[in-house]
Amino acid sequence: GDGQEEPRPVAPRRRSRQIMVGNVPVGGDAPVSVQSMTTTLTSDVNATLQQIAELTAAGCQIVRVAVPSQDDAEALPAIARKSSIPVIADIHFQPKYVFAAIDAGCAAVRVNPGNIKKFDDKVGEIAKAASAAGVPIRIGVNAGSLDKRLLAKHGRATPEALVESALWECSLFEEHGFRDIKISVKHNDPVVMIEAYRQLAAACDYPLHLGVTEAGPAFQGTIKSAVAFGALLSQGIGDTIRVSLSAPPVEEVKVGAQILESLGLRRRGLEIVSCPSCGRAQVDVYTLAEQVTAGLKDFPVPLRVAVMGCVVNGPGEAREADLGVASGNGKGQIFVKGQVIKTVPEAQIVETLIEEAMNIATEMGFE
């Protein structure tokens, strides 16, 4: 064969309705996607876009940004416009930021039912604005911020309590005819979390976002997430995943991708990733990315190739990519594993990348 046989997935997928998070389908027969969350201040547009560039180059497919303040809400239009992967706004208390996020062009909004009381009278308006914009909502239940009513009823954050909270929240949106929803029910204990998702999977057909909260430092969090996601994905449950680590988010993406590859849920193929570009960009990143994609179209080896908008941060941000280019001043710095190996005129970028891709393929033992 050509080394590119389809992996055998671990189990048939649960049937879920499909939603679109920007251009990334979630649920149905869509591949399980990997997401992460930025750790920068969202109000710092350039720092946030730079971190998104790093995450994108590591294979992140959807990114979430926290929106705790007005400054953060005001940064959303620039971030949503420039990110090359869909941006989800994470909103806890303030309905006005939900509207701001939808207006800003965010691909989805995450709300937390434990904090929803303030949303109550706003759910109808949110449903209306979200469906007009084609923006799905993630109902994100967290053990740590469970609705007090449910905490009192169940005594603690049991799987039943998490599921009841999520379905109750869904019902508020369903009353307004809104079903463009995905759900998460996160807990720091994989045993509780696994049971909660199993119950949820049986109770509804919404796509599910898997996550273990406060999973801990890299070593512990990696194991907890791998075990919990493995248990669920091996039963076909889970449509998108986020590994939470007390570590740089790029580590979360690497772990998430490895989990999917281990379960035969992700095929390693040629992947072209491009930075969202920020104030530093000296080149039209989108056009360059298209040219590189066209140039490497039939390349048969699994490689991640990064196309970055500037020579200042590009190679560093793409250090998880196998190969890439950072452009500026009519030149392209070609880098391998984040190290600049040569600089070529812009017209030679594509041919040089193909050449270097061949070299890497040979090193990897491909003929």
Question: How many residues at the interface with ligand SF4, by CB under 6 A?
Answer: 16
For residue 61, state whether it binds ligand SF4 (rule: CB under 6 A).
no
50/188 with CB nearer ligand SF4: 50
For residue 278, state whether it binds ligand SF4 (rule: CB under 6 A).
yes
Neighbour-count burial of 155, counting CB atoms closer than 10 A to its CB (0-12 exposed, 13-18 middle, 19+ buried): exposed
Token pair recorded at residue 216: 């801990």
For residue 281, state whether it binds ligand SF4 (rule: CB under 6 A).
yes
Q: Using CA atoms, how far apart are residues 90 and 137, in angstroms rounded to an integer?
A: 10
| 252 annotated binding-site participant | no
207/332 with CB nearer ligand SF4: 332
Phi, psi dihedrals of residue 130, rounded to the nearest 5°: -65, -40
Cα–Cα nearest to 224, from 238, 247, 199, 245: 245
Give the H/E segment covering residue 148: helix 148-154
Write down the least CB distance from residue 259 to ligand SF4, Å.
27
Q: Using CA atoms, how far apart are residues 167 and 161, in angstroms rounded to an integer?
A: 10
Give the H/E segment covering residue 277: none
Write down the least CB distance from residue 36 to ligand SF4, Å.
16
Write down the least CB distance from residue 275 to ligand SF4, Å.
3
Q: From residue 314 to residue 333, what is the string marking binding to ligand SF4 with x (rule CB under 6 A)?
A: x--x----------------
Q: Using CA atoms, how far apart are residues 88 and 65, in angstroms rounded to an integer?
A: 6
256/276 with CB nearer ligand SF4: 276
For residue 53, state whether it binds ligand SF4 (rule: CB under 6 A).
yes
For residue 79, state whether it binds ligand SF4 (rule: CB under 6 A).
no
Strand partners, 66: 90
| 214 annotated binding-site participant | no
| 204 annotated binding-site participant | no
Binding residue for ligand SF4, selected from 48, 199, 313, 352, defined by CB under 6 A: 313
Q: Using CA atoms, how far apart are residues 55 and 254, in angstroms rounded to an integer?
A: 9
For residue 276, state whether it binds ligand SF4 (rule: CB under 6 A).
yes
Write down the least CB distance from residue 313 to ligand SF4, Å.
4
